[in-house]
Amino acid sequence: MCTLTYNDELHEYRFEGRVIPSVTQVLPQKDFFVSAERLESCRREGKQNHADAELFILSGETFGNEYAEGIKRFMQNVPKEWGKLIGSEVRLWSKHKYAGTADLLFENAVVDMKRTFGDKQIHALQLAGYHFAAVERGLINRNTNHYILTIKDGIPKWVNVYHELAEIMFLSLVRRWWTKDEALKAKIDHSVNQYLLL
């Protein structure tokens, strides 16, 4: 049996005992400055939001929590074409030697919860990584329903970020992570930079 473990403190996935990168680790990094305190505050808020969402998914109760109320509203309005919910906080791994945790997996959709909506092209790469691994594992059907979910004041908003090139670009980024060939890294960087400009 294949084993995937995750160390939350180190944000480290291990597959069969070997450290492998996460979906977010292989993504291009945007240059911006945020103080260490603000970054930690955002990290804690994001972690709490995920915990509140998970509590609602598992219990069906919001306990008056505003974020959980937003998740409830979202779940009440999920398009029928997405099919049933497969799970929340689903740990995934791929034969391409990467892993990640999908926030919400439906039979025909992948949803990632964010504090705010960011770069659509990078969101598309992240969701393509989760989607590819979930399809590879036989958990979901191949689909183009790749959504970012934000919740503000208990009101959910979801946006499809699917891009037809995102999967091949994401798998190229995984390949870049593992290769020592500098010429190949440069080619991948060029391709990814072109994709980010689309």
pLDDT tens-digit profile of 169-190?
999 999 999 999 999 999 999 9
Flag whether the pTM goes above 0.85.
yes
The DSSP output letter for 37 is H
109-154 pLDDT, tens digit per residue, is 999 999 999 999 999 999 999 999 999 999 999 999 999 999 999 9
How far apart, in Å, do the first and last CA atoms of the chain sit? Answer: 41
Percentage above 70 pLDDT, the chain: 97
- Residue 115 neighbours by CB under 8 Å, 6+ apart: 42, 45, 46, 49, 150
Report d(CA 173, CA 125) in Å as an integer: 9
Mean pLDDT of the chain: 93
pLDDT per residue as tens digits for the range 10-38: 889 999 889 999 999 999 987 666 677 88
What six digits make up the tokens of 91?
């740990």
- Spatial strand order of the sheet with 4-7 comes to 4-7, 12-15, 18-20
Place of tokens 């993504």: 27
Q: Give the DSSP letter of residue 2.
A: -
How far is Cα 113 from Cα 102, in angstroms, rounded to an integer? 9
Token pair for 128 = 């393509």
